[in-house]
Amino acid sequence: MAASQARNAGLPIINFLRLKGVSILQQLHLEERLLRTSSENWCIIKDGTTRPTIVMGVSGKPKELLETDAVLRDEIPVIRRFTGGGTVIVDQGTIFVSFICNKDAIPGLQSYPRPIMSWSSLIYKNMFQGIGEFGLRENDYVLGNRKFGGNAQSITKNRNHVEFICRLKEFMSRSDFINGTTDAVAAYFALRSPDADDIQNHSSQFEPSSKLLTRQELGDEASIDLVGTVSQAL
């Protein structure tokens, strides 16, 4: 304990939360509540989501970004999240890592996408040492020449998907990635395990804006909601 306290001395405190068996909509609601109502730092790691779901940025337009006929036919949930960025498909194989931090938690860090991505790449750089050639290219995390995470980018047409995307399981197990990320975060923050009250205190103070889109919002003439919901009580 003494060695741990000495190692963490002077580091900003972060609430470290690991989730499993939680839908992406629940996660987004929690993150937005913490962002708007908590003055503390948070790191959330979630292993998978409860069902395949399409997640769009706050300004995303379904007709421009989705094959809406196929989405409606297959009854795939579509969520518009409260943050910007591209459109992604998430499922049980996705690992989510989210940081909610005060501006002064990382001294000198500018509140713009590129500096934030550059800082977050430091979290993973040491973790991938000896495993793959990790780097930050534009706003993407890459191993060698292939992307495994980051912001969505425009890709030149006629390029084979496997030529620019790689799967993390080619390099490490899920548990190794999650544990490695935990250790990497501990190099920058003193980790604190929040209890249920810490989270519950923020659960009813703010109405989140991330939402499941209806059939009408997806461009269908019918005004019925998508069959099934991805929302459950935390």
131 vs 129: CA distance, rounded Å: 5
Mean pLDDT in the chain? 81
User: Where does the pLDDT of residue 164 fall: very low under 50, low under 70, confident under 90, or very high at 90 and above?
Assistant: low
| Alpha-carbon dihedral angle through residues 197, 208, 25, 168, given to the nearest 10 degrees | -80
- Which tens digit of pLDDT belongs to each residue from 24-47? 999 999 998 988 888 899 999 999
Contact 90/52 with Cβ under 8 angstroms? yes
Closest alpha carbon to 99 in 166, 164, 44: 44
Under the phi-then-psi rule, with left for phi > 0, alpha for psi from -120 to 50, and beta for the rest, what region is 139? alpha
User: Where does the pLDDT of residue 115 fall: very low under 50, low under 70, confident under 90, or very high at 90 and above?
Assistant: confident
**190 burial level (CB within 10 Å; 0-12, 13-18, 19+):** middle
- Which tens digit of pLDDT belongs to each residue from 62-111? 989 999 999 999 999 999 998 887 888 999 999 999 998 888 888 888 88
Counting every residue, how long is the chain? 234
- Which tens digit of pLDDT belongs to each residue from 177-206? 999 999 999 999 999 998 877 776 666 667
DSSP H or E segment with residue 119:
helix 113-125
Q: pTM for the full model?
A: 0.80
